[in-house]
């Protein structure tokens, strides 16, 4: 299952976001073991060094823990997952407002459209 990547964003960030999304939606659970770097590189169709960077990013974000000789595991620190969820929500909202205002929509038009969507 190779992934499709967009050209205007580094691949390692796209994969990091994919894994963060899986963590937020519950596909990845606290304590789950991630595939080895080589295995995940083959699965995604990218260089091993790229996956190594992804795993390093996740560890710096306190979302994974590497246990020497055992592999990389999703953190069991629920506060880190809650923080990730909140940060991703805010980032998506910010991106939405940036995109929609660039197209010339007003705040009232956005609120009206969101209210209609929520009440469907």
Model pLDDT for residues 8-18, shown as the tens digit of each residue: 999 999 999 99
Phi then psi dihedrals of residue 46, to 5 deg = -125, 170
Where are the domains positioned within the chain?
A: 11-118
Q: What is the pLDDT of residues 69-112, one digit of tens each?
A: 999 999 999 999 999 999 999 999 999 999 999 999 998 999 99
In this predicted model, what pLDDT tens digit does every residue of 27-47 receive, in sequence order?
999 999 999 999 999 999 999
Average pLDDT over residues 47-51: 97
Right CATH number for 11-118 from 1.10.10.10, 1.20.140.10, 3.90.550.10, 3.40.190.80? 1.10.10.10
């Amino acid at each position: 299952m190779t992934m499709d990547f967009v050209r205007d964003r580094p691949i390692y960030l796209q994969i990091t976001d994919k894994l963060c999304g899986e963590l937020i939606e519950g596909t990845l659970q606290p304590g789950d073991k991630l595939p080895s770097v080589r295995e995940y590189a083959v699965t995604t169709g990218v260089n091993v060094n790229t996956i190594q960077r992804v795993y390093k990013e996740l560890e710096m974000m306190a979302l994974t823990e590497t246990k020497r000789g055992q592999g990389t595991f999703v953190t069991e620190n629920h506060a880190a997952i809650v923080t990730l969820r909140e940060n991703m929500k805010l980032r998506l909202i910010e991106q939405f407002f940036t995109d929609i205002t660039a197209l010339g929509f007003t705040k009232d038009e956005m609120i009206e459209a969101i209210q209609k969507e929520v009440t469907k």
